[in-house]
Structure 1
Amino acid sequence: MKTTMLAASIAVVLGCTLACGTALAQGGHYRNTDNKNLNDHSEGTYPVPYKKPVVAEVTSQLKSIRAYMDSATPTRIISKKTGDQITDLKTPNADAIFEPSKGDYGIQVYEMGVVHSGLLKAAEATGDKGFTAMSQRHFQFFSQTLPYFRAQEQKFRLDRANSFARFLDPHSLDDSGSMCAALIRARLAKVGPDLKPMIDTCSDWVINKQFRLEDGTMARKRPQEVSLWGDDMYMSIPLLAEMGRLTGDRKHFDDAVNNVMGMSKRLFNTQNGLYTHGWHANHPDAPRFYWARANGWAVLAMSDLLDVLPKDHPGYEPVLNQLRASIKGIAELQSGTGLWHQMLDRNDSYLETSASAMFTYVIAHAVNQGWISPTTYGSIAQAGWVGLSTRITAKGEVEGTCVGTTLASDMVYYYNRPTSVHALHGYGPMLLAGAEIIKLLNNPAFEIQHKVRTYHYVPKGVKTDYNKHQQ
């Protein structure tokens, strides 16, 4: 009894939920409880709870994140001056704003788009429609308040001070792509009201107004006059893919594939299988910095595209091959905790949560979709979740996420970006990762064998020659 209480107490300190249920050895390291003989001298200890995840535990962790997000994101209009709620939605008020969220989790920012996509995936994986209740609340709020804030803008010309500025007059891919993709997914899943006016505005920006290179690749005019950001693969490609699915117009699929190829041609290093964070047209041979989250955005974008891209599209195989090459490069750099480093090729940089969650999701999803081998990659995805589970607090906060980060030109900046539980970038990817791990654990195409103190994802019907002494 005392040992169990001690284990639970230490688990909380380490940021693991109490659902971990894993015994701890001396020095604060975990023993694998799937190994029945804990006195086995051939069995080591681990810095994370190395074991096969349990669906009920993963579901509980996802529910804690959902509950935290739900409590931290109010949907009310208040006076910026007084803080009082504004209920009159007929008379525009120049002082009216969205009530700020607890922890600065903006309800229309691109990171929240990933949260909604993660909630949709969690509802699908668990069968619990309660996961989408927050999305329904947010989207109903948007539907009710869009006319009010449009009238506010017309009367007072607040421009970027208007709480609805991103969807009244978007200025960037960050304003539009990620959240718009989530709105389309919710619309097709019949979650919340139909937000066609928001979808039309933000998709128009991405498709028709965003600055591009001559070959159609999405680009920015910062920090240099013509630059590419790896981040923008996610800020544009999933939206284009979802527009193709929504409208049936193949030109959007063509555009999405073209952007995968255009970005990859300039950002992807075929030697190490990684994306550099950025590229500058006037300085294409600049040093390359392999920031983890940029790689996360890249593989997440390709994965999302393949989910809806028709298999007879000429771009399907090139995109799939690019994703496979990226997954291989990323997988080879997983740390001994299951997480990945802030700078992927620098193991003296800190272990970062949001990118690790994206990698875990994409690898697990690729296994579940049959894009990559479960034998090769199943245990890598499992190990990723094992590490991520220690980053979820008892309150449902997600720890260890790098805050917002620009495209920089020196390593010192990337190494020293702070982490915070208020960095929204970690919450959506964590929901995605947990949901996909549940699907991985339930996947009928293979069995997860615990042999020689580790895990093997073996396709059904495949026989191995482990004997009865190799348990």
Structure 2
Amino acid sequence: MWIRREERLAMSYFGQEESIFSQYGTNVEQTLATIAERYIGANPSHPFVYRLFNREGFTRLHDYRYDMDLAKKWPDMRNGQVVYTWAKLWMDQPAELNFGMSCYGPAKVYVNGKLAYASNISDDVAPERKNVFRAMLNKGWNPVVVQYLKTASGCGGQFGTGSYKNFPLHFMNPTPEREGWEGWIYSEPTERDLLPLLADGLFEQDNALRWYPSAQWSETELAQGTFGRQFGTVAGRSALAWTKVESLLPGTQAISWRGSHEGSIALYINGELAYSAPASGEFCVDAELLFGLNNVVVVSECLGSRWGFRLQGAEVSGDVAWLQPVPVKGLADHWLYLGTFAQEKVPAIHELGEMHHVYDDGGEGTYWRADHPETWVRPYLENPLFGKWNYPLGVTLYGLMQTGAALGRQDYVDYVLKHIEQCTSVDAYSLWDAARYGAPGVNNQLALMDSLDDCGSFGATMLTAARFHEPEGARAVAGRIAHYITQVQDRLQDGVLYRVRGSVDFMKDTLWCDDLYMSVPFMCRYFEFTQDASILDDAVKQILLYKKYLYMPELQIMSHVYDFKFNKQTEVPWGRGNGWVLFSLAELLLTLPENHVQRDELLAFFRELCAGYLRLQGTNGLWHQVLTDPESYEETSCTSMFLYAFARGIRLGWLTDAQPYVRAVRKGWEGLTRISIDKHGHIYGVCRGSGYSFAARYYKDELSWLLNDTHGIGIVMLAGVEVRSMIRDLQSK
């Protein structure tokens, strides 16, 4: 008898000797610790990367594509001329990626020297159309060149990442002169074919054309002084320069610095005033450095047409090294600059190390920059997972945090808090960055919030984390999320949350059971945080309205989606979608006051769903990708959510006939440890992020599982935590 490919996969995630069960049996604590430590080890807590960016280059659109309108850059360009844009992308591993292009005229995209996309005559006159294509990228640097032809319709395009929600691509300047800078460079108009010349590592000065935006000052600009060329010369305005000096000798050592300045000057070392003068002149500073890093700050006020300072080499009794105040990719020297300010708004010296801080300049706000034309410092998230804000990571961190609390592992909790605070502390900056540059380098989903996915799941984890330590910025973020869910997210007339639009057209006008988890747990946590009963009542309302649209009473389970284009359910019981419903209902029941008028109705629904899911548990203890199809693969994330809710329902008395559920939990946990978790803590069998379909075969045959997918890691840990609590509770009784 032939075995279907899907069945082979489900039966053989790994050999039984490789399972976590072969090491620890069903021991929950050891299993949880193994999963947690693998995840933390694979995703170290790296900070954001700071890079230089030239604001006279291309800014971005909401979907992270760069707006390359070259007819605006070169208004006198002739029809028939071409302009080249040039950048490079780094890849840790070979991968095929999506790219998106909307054309203002004819365009060709070359990746690693090979043609990846060429517009057709229809694309050339349809700038509103996003053309998605795929290209293979190699490990390491991948040069990307776009050739734009000028016609009467225009020149250029909107080009960049095709999947901005999860993978916003940051392109880097390609030439050695701008190594480490983010963004693209572009050529002057030409009739020449430059493609053979645009090789990785080519210097701009060796090229046949001039490249823009300009990275170097003109002689006239250089003569205006350090501050004058960057900020202009408005009398009475002040600016700051910041660097660090490392003293390599123990104790203290004397220094003697000489220099000159135009405008007033105040020089601070480690926050202490070392020298000041009210007008231009020369100076000599005698001071002491401490062992290690020393902050050096220059504050100056503009008094005339030249404005700046020069600090010459130090005469010291030991060795010193000049260092950048924070590591900035592309910064060739060691100074950062900030300005300009009216006298009453000059930042305090102790504030300058806060790189997530936008400084009040009396206008739109300002941030650090470098001594190049219109060149600013910006943070970028370049970690695959740590420091990212998205809904699967919200569940992952929730599971890791609860595991740390259950096992008494403060290091797990601290890791979660650090991840969350890396996001929340830069929230105000990322909003400013998005307004200034089109799309921020960090917090892309939080800053450009436009769906429940972007806020509710991670927001709920953030508020749970606040029980341990309130992350910096969390209160403001929570308020923005609550406002979005209650005031902005689309609803039908009856108040139910739904999707009036989607990332693709077919998702428009749909209601997904997934969205209960993207809303209800946050509402519960926000109620606990603020005691605003209205948001808890809204959570109750959502559960009951989703039941109205998605419940299939004959099976006592849920359809994945209701499609208002057809005014009917899809009638496909996707495993994880059902898991989200029961998981969210279990979170609500834990929060809901015992005397709430609708608590009994919700408890009855919880019991109905549990009965429906209990009947569908598979032979090995797991539930299947399509709940009613035992030939679909055994899926880990829905199994974990059912176990989580069952175990909680047993422990808290929500399930009055508990024994069948106790057996189901024991069987399910053993199934996970035998089938889904290997001895190294890797998680198998988690369905990848989904679309939806009226056809069950989409979920069964096309919606495959991924190794260590973040949709499942945290949920497995949460199931383990609840199973452990249930076992302890039953033992105590």
The equivalent residue for 2:453 is: 174
Correspondent of 2:388 among 98, 103, 107: 107
Whole-Å separation in 2 of the counterparts to 1:232 and 1:18: 32
Q: Determine if the alignment matches structure 1 residue 314 to structure 2 residue 597.
A: yes
Whole-Å separation in 2 of the counterparts to 1:224 and 1:55: 39
Greater share of helix:
1
Q: Quote the offset at 1:165 in angstroms.
A: 3.0
Whole-Å separation in 2 of the counterparts to 1:385 and 1:266: 32
The equivalent residue for 1:63 is: 36
Q: 1:409 to 1:128 in 2, by over 3 A?
A: same
The equivalent residue for 1:413 is: 698
Q: Quote the offset at 1:142 in angstroms.
A: 2.1
Q: Unaligned stretches of 5+ in structure 2?
A: 1-11, 52-169, 173-178, 182-326, 330-335, 337-354, 356-366, 370-375
Asked if 1 retains the 8 angstrom alpha-carbon contact of 2:559 and 2:573, the reply is yes
The equivalent residue for 1:279 is: 562
For residues 418-457 of structure 1, what are the structure 2 equivalents within 5 Å? 418-443=704-729, 445-446=730-731
Whole-Å separation in 1 of the counterparts to 2:731 and 2:679: 32
The equivalent residue for 2:404 is: 123
Count of aligned pairs: 404
The equivalent residue for 1:75 is: 47
Q: Determine if the alignment matches structure 1 residue 20 to structure 2 residue 297.
A: no
Q: Deviations over 1:121-148 (max 9, x none)?
A: 2123222222212212112322443344
Asked if 2 retains the 8 angstrom alpha-carbon contact of 1:125 and 1:436, the reply is no
Asked if 2 retains the 8 angstrom alpha-carbon contact of 1:187 and 1:193, the reply is no
Correspondent of 2:665 among 381, 391, 396: 381
The equivalent residue for 1:238 is: 521
Q: 1:342 to 1:209 in 2, by over 3 A?
A: same
Q: 1:219 to 1:437 in 2, by over 3 A?
A: same
Correspondent of 1:145 among 423, 426, 429: 426
Correspondent of 2:572 among 269, 284, 289: 289
Whole-Å separation in 1 of the counterparts to 2:20 and 2:633: 25
Whole-Å separation in 2 of the counterparts to 1:212 and 1:362: 28
Q: Deviations over 1:365-423 (max 9, x none)?
A: 21122211432211211211111123223432211111110122222221121211142
- Mean CA deviation greater in 262-271 or 88-97: 88-97
Question: What amino acid is the match of 1:239?
Answer: F
For residues 284-363 of structure 1, what are the structure 2 equivalents within 5 Å? 284-363=567-646
Q: Quote the offset at 1:76 in angstroms.
A: 2.3
Whole-Å separation in 1 of the counterparts to 2:18 and 2:724: 18
Whole-Å separation in 1 of the counterparts to 2:453 and 2:424: 21
Asked if 2 retains the 8 angstrom alpha-carbon contact of 1:123 and 1:131, the reply is yes
Q: Determine if the alignment matches structure 1 residue 403 to structure 2 residue 688.
A: yes
Whole-Å separation in 1 of the counterparts to 2:703 and 2:564: 26
Whole-Å separation in 2 of the counterparts to 1:62 and 1:369: 27
The equivalent residue for 1:54 is: 27
- Percentage identity across paired residues of the two chains: 24
Q: Unaligned stretches of 5+ in structure 1?
A: 1-9, 23-48, 448-459, 461-471
Q: 1:283 to 1:306 in 2, by over 3 A?
A: same
Q: 1:194 to 1:109 in 2, by over 3 A?
A: same
The equivalent residue for 1:262 is: 545
Q: Quote the offset at 1:83 in angstroms.
A: 6.4
Asked if 2 retains the 8 angstrom alpha-carbon contact of 1:86 and 1:96, the reply is no
Whole-Å separation in 2 of the counterparts to 1:62 and 1:237: 27
Whole-Å separation in 1 of the counterparts to 2:400 and 2:450: 27
Asked if 1 retains the 8 angstrom alpha-carbon contact of 2:20 and 2:678, the reply is no
Q: Quote the offset at 1:429 in angstroms.
A: 0.4
Q: Quote the offset at 1:19 in angstroms.
A: 5.8
User: Aligned to 2:500, what secondary structure does the other structure show?
Assistant: coil
Whole-Å separation in 1 of the counterparts to 2:500 and 2:648: 34
Whole-Å separation in 1 of the counterparts to 2:436 and 2:616: 54
Asked if 1 retains the 8 angstrom alpha-carbon contact of 2:580 and 2:641, the reply is yes
Q: Determine if the alignment matches structure 1 residue 155 to structure 2 residue 470.
A: no
Q: Quote the offset at 1:200 in angstroms.
A: 1.4
Asked if 2 retains the 8 angstrom alpha-carbon contact of 1:112 and 1:179, the reply is yes
User: Aligned to 2:496, what secondary structure does the other structure show?
Assistant: coil
Asked if 2 retains the 8 angstrom alpha-carbon contact of 1:76 and 1:99, the reply is yes
Asked if 2 retains the 8 angstrom alpha-carbon contact of 1:105 and 1:424, the reply is no
Q: Quote the offset at 1:56 in angstroms.
A: 4.0
For residues 215-226 of structure 1, what are the structure 2 equivalents within 5 Å? 215-222=494-501, 223=506, 225-226=508-509
Q: Deviations over 1:62-101 (max 9, x none)?
A: 4334434643x64322544266864873427586420131
Whole-Å separation in 1 of the counterparts to 2:544 and 2:660: 26
Q: 1:296 to 1:57 in 2, by over 3 A?
A: same
The equivalent residue for 2:652 is: 369
TM-score by length of 1: 0.79
